[in-house]
Structure 1
Amino acid sequence: MNDILNTLSFFHILKQPLTLVELVRWKHGAYKSMSEIYTDLQSLIATGKVIEQEGVYGLSEDWIERRISNDQARNHAWKRIEEFLPTLTANPYILAVAVANSCAFNSMTTRSDIDFFIVTKKNRAWLARLGAALPAKLKKIRPGETERAPICLSFFADESALNMQPYLIENDIYFAHWADSLIWIYDQKNIYASFKEQNSWAQEILKRPLNSSFIPFKQKKGITSKIFSLVDSDASEKFVREKQKNIMPKVLQLENEQPGSAVVLGDHIIKMHLDDRRSQITEQYEQHMVMPETEKIYA
């Protein structure tokens, strides 16, 4: 039952209690059936280690109540995703799109952003970002431009840079769950399978196969595709890369590829996460782990 407690402990740090179905999906360690997990949960509830309310399980009543009250925020976020996705699929440089972070964890609140992980053609990450960011800016749906479910376009990787291991911190439990939680909603080159294959490090941390899901979405061509196809060249990529980097906030430029930084403004990776809580999450998680030392989930 320690694997259940450790899983609930991790999501408790994210202020996210889980349903039984989610616990089956997210649980660390070897697979257990829903009936086995349910039986274990009843024992944990009986001993006061787990709280259950309206089919949601967690370690705090406060977070359970918040989870139940945030259904409207989650529904609004997925409606925004459905509306914006055609803009991304019409972008000729984008090969795959996945929903990430709070939306993928199903922990959206009224203050949460919608985070995407976007995979592009090789050496076209910056052209892809330009083609995604401009429409979002025109629609005024980026962070700081709208309060409800803003679109955050802060993580791009081209198809040659799918392995996220170089960007791990020590015992990176959050990044393992991030890779595991991705909801792939568009994929025209089997990126979903390649990503899982190249990120086996996450399986070693979680002690189970990755469970990221794929919900296919048909590509839509349009004016955006035709316009950006006209500037498809290495010279254009270099030009827009330098222009975008020059107008970015100084703090991003200073943090770029510093040791331990979550900001990467490279040729193949664009990762702009100034508010990186992974070290804090790992520290809190390790403090609350209940497994014996010999059974730690970390490799």
Structure 2
Amino acid sequence: MKSIATISQQNNRQLLITRNNILAALAYFDMWDYPLTRGEIYLFLERKHGQNEFDQALTYLTNNKLIFRFDQFYSLKNDYMVAARRLKGNKKAAGLMTKAKEAGAFLIKFPYVRGIAISGSLSKNCADDNSDIDFFIITTANRLWLARTFMHLFKKLTFLVGKQHNYCMNYYVDEAQLQIVEKNIYTAIEVATIIPVEGDTTFENFYKANTWISDFLPNKCMRLATANPLRKHRIKSFIELLFNNRLGAWLDHTLMHITAGRWNKKTEQKKLNMRGAVMSMAAGRHFAKPAPENFQQRLIERYRLKLSGLLQEQEDSLMR
């Protein structure tokens, strides 16, 4: 039988792991000054923990001022304004959500589009006066570039009426390769927080292809119930009929090379987007997405450094 001392050591070790996981969840969202509720922290833990154990760890961190509580929110910063800004951002996001769903209902009508989800900050219930409405889009296999071209021709028209920020279509995959290649905490959170609005069965297949996210977020559930089923649209079906042949395959392949070439030139010339970042895109037969090395890797490194400092701070507090 285990001695009382051994059991106590194991419990203390488990509580330390739980505290570290809580700090990790808060550290990630703190990069955007975004505090979390108790329930949100639990959903974004890297491991499964019992509720009592979780509450003990949360209380310890709060009592020892390693984290701070403001009403229902927990933060790494001892600043009530982070909670106030979050509430303001949540209110703004609620207003944008209706527009996003309307935009999604329109975008699903484009040829070869099989799934539309809200992504980016809005999918995390956060927005400000400068927020875009970002979309994650799934297309028919081997017709991604035709679909993307149709949609971005429409996007050019939105600039004429100042609605371009409502249609930020920056991440595409097709049904031939639904699994996200980059597997890390950033992509796991992005996949786990997208809000499917169109294409229920499409996203059911997408989540089946991305069960790896449970390795990073074992407590997070997906949002299948939010997506509408696909409906037939006559014009969409007619255009698809025109390109369901060798011509369509050739056009899709050609459009991929043309688009990739243009984006490569933008990157080489270090052209900046509206946020001041170098414009870049990763392009392949079955995907079109922001180049991971230009954002993901830098963000993950920043996160790791931040978390390392927090864990060291907690270790120092135990030595006092």
Aligned counterparts of 1:111 and 1:161: Cα–Cα separation in 2: 33
Q: 1 CA distance for matches of 2:169 and 2:75?
A: 31
1:125 paired with 2:144, answer: yes
Q: Residues 81 and 196 (structure 1 numbering): CA distance in 2 closer, same or farther, change over 3 Å?
A: same
1:211 and 2:230 aligned: no
**Could you tell me which residue of structure 1 aligns to residue 32 of structure 2?**
14
Q: Which amino acid aligns with 1:114?
A: I
Q: Match for 2:172 among 156, 177, 202?
A: 156
Number of the residue aligned with 1:177: 189
* Partner of residue 45, structure 1: 62
* Aligned positions of 1:128-139 closer than 5 A: 128-139=147-158
Name stretches of at least 5 consecutive residues in structure 1 with no aligned partner: 256-260, 293-299
Return the index of the structure with the highest Cα Rg.
2
Distance 1:21 1:3 in 2: 14
One-letter identity of the residue aligned with 1:182 = I
Distance change (3 Å), C-alpha of 1:37 and 1:76: same
TM-score (norm 1): 0.78
Which letter maps to 1:211? C
- Residue number in structure 1 paired with 2:273: none
TM-score if structure 2 supplies the norm length?
0.73
| Structure with the higher fraction of residues in helix conformation | 2
Q: 1:125 Cα deviation (Å)? A: 0.4
* Cα deviations by residue, 1:36-77 (Å, 9 ceiling, x for unpaired): 645543332222122222312211224322212213320232
Counterpart for residue 198 of structure 1: 209
Distance, in Å, in 1 between the alignment partners of 2:253 and 2:71 is 53
> Does structure 1 retain, via aligned residues, the 8 Å contact 2:46–2:215?
no
How high is the sequence identity, in percent, across the aligned residues? Answer: 22
Answer yes or no: is 1:278 the counterpart of 2:296.
Answer: yes
Q: Within 2, Cα distance between the matches of 1:141 and 1:183?
A: 28
Q: CA deviation at 1:291?
A: 5.8
Determine if contact 1:87/1:132 at 8 Å carries over to the other structure: no
Cα 1:6–1:239 change in 2 (3 A) is closer
Structure 1 match to 2:276: none
Deviation for aligned residue 1:159: 0.8
| Other-structure match for 1:97 | 116
In 2, are the aligned partners of 1:245 and 1:253 still within 8 Å (CA)? no
Distance 2:100 2:297 in 1: 29
SS in 1 for 2:251: helix
CA distance in 2, matches of 1:174, 1:78: 23
SS at match of 2:130: coil
Write the deviation string for residues 161-193 of structure 1: whole angstroms up to 9, x where unpaired. Answer: 11222x45xxx32122112222222225x3333
Deviation at 1:106, TM superposition (A): 2.1
